[in-house]
Amino acid sequence: MSAQRFTLSQRLQRALLVFLSRLPASLQRMLAQPATNTAGDIMAPDVALLMKLGESGPDYSDLPTADARATTERDLALFAARLPACGIEEEIEIGDGLLATRYSTGTPDRGLILFFHGGGFVIGSRTSYTAPVRMLAHGTGADVVSVEYRLAPEHPFPAAQEDAAAAWRYVVDHAPAWGIDPRRIVVAGESAGGNIAAVLCQQVREDDVQPMLQVLIQPVTDLVEHRPSQDEFAGSPALSAKQVAWFVENYLPAGADPADPLISPYRAASLAGLPPAIVNLAGFDPLHDDGLAYATALRDAGVTVQVDREGGLVHGYLSYTAVSPSCMRATERLVSSIFEALRRTDHTTHATKAS
């Protein structure tokens, strides 16, 4: 992974965004006039200001795929916090050209997080998610393996799911060499990555080794039903209906059935027996209702579910940690939720051994 190099113009843009994000909330509210959603949530003022500035920007879904990726990689690098590197950051090859990066702080047997980035199955990368992944590693003490799964349209469905399954087998096999119990692996992902994580948990449900936890961050769970939040936030600068349609058009090959559980995990015949889940939602996200529907279905199937809802935030808030204190604090809360889940499991394991 190569570090992003900014031009002078980009550095000035970042400095301006950081400055605006630190203005008094009262001034941000006056400038941005934060919206209120149908649930009564008021958008965080710093996020509202960021969204207002983003309304006039170019739409990556109007660009050729290569240009869309270059544009979003640049923007995500501008918006992301600069965090210290972990003690170990090594590239690993899972096989057949599938690459991942392992981040480790050297904490013995705290566990491992297998992470899948967002980007609608079309954009995004390990590099653009370096900041949240480092936050996960530093904040939980767990190793994190961030996967560079194949992207559409060059590699449409089911390529990402195949890569996820390969990555799962790899980390299960290699965890002992890293000093990690394979039964202490968390599967996590954001947006499209949340879909990949949810599907993976269903795929390995009958395996001897299963994820101890699934963390679904603003996940895509159902491409069949159109839910109210998709209409309410259709014009969101963070994720618009137009962009969602562009992602789906690129991701699904001709003849693919959106109701296939490998595409829409909500449509699985049964959700019983899946790992406990943390489902993280944002109040101003078109995918809010999809994620909530999946959390409800998991709970109805007897799965332990913790729903963490960030009412004032937008889709993809993990990527705005440099230019939004609200997004930084929310990402820290997410990391804390995962840390607490790992700690509870730690205590349970020790109590079981003692008895």
Compute the Cα dihedral for 133, 71, 121, 94 and give only its sign.
negative
Label the pairing between strands 277-284 and 305-314: parallel
Q: Is 56 a catalytic residue?
A: no
- Residues near 331 by beta carbon (within 8 Å), at least 6 away in sequence: 132, 135, 317, 318, 321
Judged by phi (left if over 0) then psi (alpha if -120 to 50, else beta), residue 96 lies in left
Among the listed residues 118, 44, 55, the one whose alpha carbon sits nearest the alpha carbon of residue 282: 44
Ramachandran angles phi, psi of 222, nearest 5°? -155, 115
The pair of structure tokens assigned to 79 is 């918006």
Q: Is 285 a catalytic residue?
A: yes
SS3 354: helix
Contact status, residue 160 vs residue 149, Cβ threshold 8 Å? yes
Structure tokens that stand for 273 in this block: 């027996």
Distance CA 232, CA 264 (A): 21
CA distance 248 to 236: 17
Nearest to 3, CA basis, from 108, 105, 56, 80: 80
Catalytic residue among 117, 146, 315, 324: 315
- Tokens found for residue 293: 């529907």
Q: Which of 41, 163, 222, 285 is catalytic?
A: 285
- Residue 82 has which token pair? 């600069």
61, 191, 229, 319: the active-site residue: 191
Other beta carbons less than 10 A from residue 347's beta carbon: 9
Exposed (0-12), middle (13-18) or buried (19+): which is 139, by Cβ within 10 Å?
middle
- Catalytic residue list: 191, 285, 315
